[in-house]
Structure 1
Amino acid sequence: MSKRPNFLFIITDQHRADHLGCYGNDTVKTPHIDSLAAKGTRWDRFYVANPICMPNRASIMTGRMCSVHGARHNGIPLSKDHTTFVELLRDAGYNTGLIGKSHLQSFTGLPATNQFEPQDGLTTPSIALRDAYKNNRHSSEYDLEVAPKWDRPLSERLTGHFYGFDHVEVTADHGDQASGDYLLWARTQHPDFDDLTGPDNALPDNRINAPQAWRTAVPEELYSTAWIPDRAEAWLTEQARQEAPFFLQMSFPDPHHPFTPPGRYWDMYDPADMMLPASFGHGDLPPIKAMKEAMEKGTDPRNSQNPFAVSEDEARAIIALTYGMITMIDDAIGRVLARLEALGLAEDTVVIFTSDHGDYMGDHGLMLKLLLHYQSIIRVPFIWKDPKTTQAAVDTGLGSSIDIAATILSRAGIQAFNGIQGRDLLTSKPPKAVLVEEDSQRTMTGFDRPQRVRTVVTDRYRMSLREGENWNELYDLENDPYELRNLFDDQSAEVECVRQSVMETMLRRMINLQDRAPFPAYRA
């Protein structure tokens, strides 16, 4: 083992912790990911800093909470003024590569929901003075991932590195709608590739009838989940000839919706065999009631990023398709792990596996994510397979996405930058609580205003407080693991004591996570 290890950092998208064999799921087939846990450490209680793509990916990159780095929700890019752990690896001599999904910048190109609105009777500030930040990340350097503008490879449009990555081959979007560098490649492989994608070009199938699900005409070998390991293997082959250590982030845009696993992965799992979550059909929070009512009345389009209610048959169908996507990812990971072995790199490479957030996937009768912080969307897998050890272990302490950066830097022997908020998972004690933040930018079914939610998770409890609403949440995870009984309004003395204690824990954790950057220039 060299003094400076290599790193293969694998991220999936919208992948809840219990959708892996090593996390207790006996239906979905994930032998290669399970093999990492069989010889590494699996964190049983690992939580996101934010259950949304862009914010949590920014927190992974910086080791800092969203309220600090400012990418509070999708549509706000990670500022290039913020230091990433990949930049520190690069600075220390690592070769750095990103293959697959980045989503550190926006890729839809759609207008933002929240915009400055001039008020009648008041002088409107100049454009440069309408935001608290003069550099509000609206310039062209933050449009690098916008799919409609992706006419040539990202690497050709860069000046210098990309958040610390010298090598970039990026996928934007999800399912058979994936774009970016991947789409440029796919079009060279099949001149009429665009005629294979989307629901209008889907293959006929009578088995699945569920929102955002269609049998894609894209063949397995041209699907993004196949392209990513192809490119990763090629990059790793180059690294085997280099003296410098490497860090490769291999990031899959699946198993995120739309639910379009290609080829044999489409019908690999039978919906009739899928178990519904224990909480399916339960839940009386206002938005859950509203989503169920909208489904029954047919007033919810269920074709956007917003969460929606589903029937039992729809839930089983979507779970089956999601398992197909997960198994395809697992097969891709198996290919790359085999190439590491064949190149003689495995004995020097730390392999890490996680996801950016989860999915309700039928919990309380819902699909997707946003605003209700059940375990299914805030708890994600985290596996650390280090060649220094071969013993399987399970860590039951609380961990967070903000801890990933500090742990990698520590293992690489690199001092972290001032202001990093995460801890080294391998050498430090877990905190009493982890914090989850979420700010929305739009209304959705069950919410008549954008939401601001803060959640604290302790060894036993999960509490979520939201601004501007007359309801909050408190669950005893020890006695109510499926979060069926909301205790927040329970007036008993016992629950009142718990509520105050957890609220104090949340406040102390929020104080602890106040920013400690920048360094002062002088004493005073």
Structure 2
Amino acid sequence: MPAQSKRPNFLLIMTDQQRADHLGADGNPIVRTPNLDQLASGGWRADRMYVATPVCMPNRASILTGRYPSAHGARHNGIALSTDATTFVDMLRVTGYSTALVGKAHFQNMTNLPPSWPVRAEDRLVREAFRAPAGRYDQELKEKWLADDAFELDYPFYGFETVDLVDDHSDEVHGHYLRWLRSNHPQVAQLAGRQQAVPTPEYELSRFGQAWRTRVPEELYPTAYIADRACAKLRAFSSSDRPFFLQVSFPDPHHPFTPPGRYWNMYMPDDVSLPASFHHPEPMPPHLRWLLDRRANGKDAKHTPALFACSEREAREAIALNYGSITNIDDRVGQIMDTLEDAKLLDNTVVIFTSDHGDYLGDHRLMLKGPIHYQGLIRVPFIWKDPAGVAGARSSDALFSSIDIAPTILDRAGVTRFNGMQGECMLPVMLGRKESVRENLLLEEENQRVILGFQGRTRCRTLMNRRYRLTIYDGVQWGELYDLQEDPLEFRNCWDDSAYAGTRAAMMESLTRSMLYHVDTSPYPSALA
């Protein structure tokens, strides 16, 4: 076996839609995550890791590029990341790394809706004047994968030399997994989906398609397939003298909630606690009131991917099933870590764990995700386990963003950052050289839907500092200002409180300066294609 390169390997493990506080390492007393907790105890944890935007596609693109959605162009779901975009995986690959992705990608549209290239859908004149960027934007489309067993990605795919694709959610995923399942276990492939599920009339969520008890067994469920393929990749990497970057991306615990086998009833709804913020006191901000009024009037839509106001029972069910999916993932993380050790790769591999965004799961009586930036949605887990160790504390409450992941990996690999990166390297804080990398943290969001009582598609910006969260919305005069030190549950909106007028003015100025600072300054192309 060739000797391993001294350049560090990287294993990035990602979940989909997991809150930071749904880990034992973050203080959750119910969910069982012993393997991730062990990873955290031997590594470093960012207690205030926030997303660049709490939406799947744009934040995954931000993790890849180290850039905000307003800079990389994939501003909301349905707008593909340009195939011309430079990613940190590209930089690792061209400097000698083997690069692979196992699991969910979601850099392009994965549903059967037509993909959009990285210009605004409403910019009709732009779309007519210029051709779409070079490259294929149908590579993750479900209909393509279902219709043609020879359908494949173009490699390198955003820097990844190989991909074992598992797109979409629950047991209805597609890509290489479904192709494998149909070929090797055709009878099981027929068992997937809501229509084939075990009846669970006792679950409110199953009545409108947000949960079902899958008949796909644990060992053939997408989570197991991803772990098995990841372990096979690690064993292959162990016989190479090239360093590697492997991203292992689980589609769970994202809704619909379908934890397989024993994980379905591992946690029971009556045994989990409601979030402390479930009962939001009066007065309420307008968008929250809008959602609660729609539920009271019977106009809420609980069968779509959009956020909705939930009952106590619905919240408890979602939390319990979410916990089951997380423990399933944790068991598979243990399998991956055992393989890493057995392959003698552990001593030279940086292991990273995070998620693309959170989920309300009952916070303020809300379910799923949307453009209301409560902490459960925008704060995600982040663990960095480095064989070189860390010189500072084992955790930090400094402000970090998902755009910081790319420059941190490149700096740790000794690879030059590419022009246009907007994130900050976290290593100085890990090494105890700095207390923080920023005073203020920006979040962006542009939503696809006209919801929450706004006149058009929701567009908002949030600024966080150590004490406050401020959020403004396009087209309205009201906003949100929360004193997280005095009001960690974000019950009291101080936007119109005269005692906070100075704070509001200072935060608005900081938000303006942060938005200006993060305007893309990378060179314009010399000519339009």
Q: Same fold (TM over 0.5)?
A: yes
Q: Distance in 2 between matches of 1:376 and 1:387?
A: 31
Tell me what 1:96 maps to: 99
Q: Distance in 1 between matches of 2:422 and 2:149?
A: 30
Whether the 8 Å contact between 1:63 and 1:401 is mirrored in structure 2 is yes
Tell me what 2:113 maps to: 110
Tell me what 1:27 maps to: 30
415-424 or 399-408, which deviates more: 415-424
Task: Find the residue that maps to 1:352 and give its secondary structure.
Answer: strand
65-74 or 469-478, which deviates more: 469-478
| Count of paired positions | 508
389-398 or 361-370, which deviates more: 389-398
Q: Distance in 2 between matches of 1:110 and 1:92?
A: 36
Give the letter for the 2:332 counterpart: A
403-412 or 108-117, which deviates more: 108-117
Whether the 8 Å contact between 2:278 and 2:365 is mirrored in structure 1 is yes
Whether the 8 Å contact between 2:230 and 2:248 is mirrored in structure 1 is yes
Q: Distance in 2 between matches of 1:157 and 1:267?
A: 37
| CA gap 1:7/1:202 in 2 versus in 1, 3 angstroms | same
User: In structure 1, which of residues 177, 181, 186 is the aligned counterpart of residue 181 of structure 2?
Assistant: 186
Cα deviation, 1:43-98, whole Å, max 9, x if unaligned, reads 01110000000000000000001000110000001102211000000011000000
Deviation at 1:194, TM superposition (A): 4.6
Tell me what 1:167 maps to: 162
Q: Distance in 1 between matches of 2:148 and 2:135?
A: 16
Whether the 8 Å contact between 1:62 and 1:84 is mirrored in structure 2 is yes
Give the letter for the 1:505 counterpart: S
Instruction: Determine if the alignment matches structure 1 residue 196 to structure 2 residue 194.
Output: no
Tell me what 1:45 maps to: 48
Whether the 8 Å contact between 1:99 and 1:169 is mirrored in structure 2 is yes
Instruction: Determine if the alignment matches structure 1 residue 325 to structure 2 residue 320.
Output: no
Q: Distance in 1 between matches of 2:413 and 2:216?
A: 40
Deviation at 1:326, TM superposition (A): 0.4
Give the letter for the 1:91 counterpart: V
Q: Distance in 1 between matches of 2:504 and 2:366?
A: 27
Cα deviation, 1:188-243, whole Å, max 9, x if unaligned, reads 23224453122221102354222411111111112111110010011111101000
Deviation at 1:453, TM superposition (A): 0.3
Whether the 8 Å contact between 2:149 and 2:179 is mirrored in structure 1 is no
1:397-476 to 2 correspondence within 5 Å? 397-427=398-428, 429-476=436-483
Q: Distance in 1 between matches of 2:172 and 2:350?
A: 32
Tell me what 1:121 maps to: none
Q: Distance in 1 between matches of 2:127 and 2:238?
A: 50
Instruction: Determine if the alignment matches structure 1 residue 505 to structure 2 residue 510.
Output: yes
Tell me what 2:215 maps to: 217
> Which structure 1 residue ranges, 5 or more long, are not aligned?
119-124
Whether the 8 Å contact between 1:309 and 1:366 is mirrored in structure 2 is yes
Give the letter for the 1:25 counterpart: N
Task: Find the residue that maps to 1:259 and give its secondary structure.
Answer: coil
Tell me what 2:315 maps to: 315
Give the letter for the 1:179 counterpart: H
Cα deviation, 1:312-360, whole Å, max 9, x if unaligned, reads 0111011000000000000111100000000100001000000000000
1:76-475 to 2 correspondence within 5 Å? 76-111=79-114, 115=121, 128-129=128-129, 134-136=130-132, 141-151=136-146, 157-210=152-205, 211=208, 212-282=210-280, 284-389=284-389, 393-427=394-428, 429-475=436-482
Task: Find the residue that maps to 2:253 and give its secondary structure.
Answer: coil
Deviation at 1:270, TM superposition (A): 1.3
Task: Find the residue that maps to 1:174 and give its secondary structure.
Answer: coil
Give the letter for the 2:108 counterpart: Q
Deviation at 1:511, TM superposition (A): 1.9
Q: Distance in 1 between matches of 2:478 and 2:127?
A: 38
Deviation at 1:446, TM superposition (A): 3.8
Whether the 8 Å contact between 2:441 and 2:465 is mirrored in structure 1 is yes
302-311 or 196-205, which deviates more: 196-205
Q: Distance in 1 between matches of 2:126 and 2:469?
A: 44
RMSD of aligned residue pairs (Cα, Å): 2.2
Tell me what 1:122 maps to: none
Whether the 8 Å contact between 1:155 and 1:169 is mirrored in structure 2 is no
The percentage of aligned residue pairs carrying the same residue is 51
| CA gap 1:393/1:174 in 2 versus in 1, 3 angstroms | same
Whether the 8 Å contact between 1:308 and 1:368 is mirrored in structure 2 is yes
| CA gap 1:345/1:292 in 2 versus in 1, 3 angstroms | same
TM-score (norm 1): 0.93
TM-score (norm 2): 0.92
152-161 or 303-312, which deviates more: 152-161
| CA gap 1:161/1:324 in 2 versus in 1, 3 angstroms | same
Q: Distance in 1 between matches of 2:5 and 2:198?
A: 50
Q: Distance in 2 between matches of 1:443 and 1:154?
A: 37
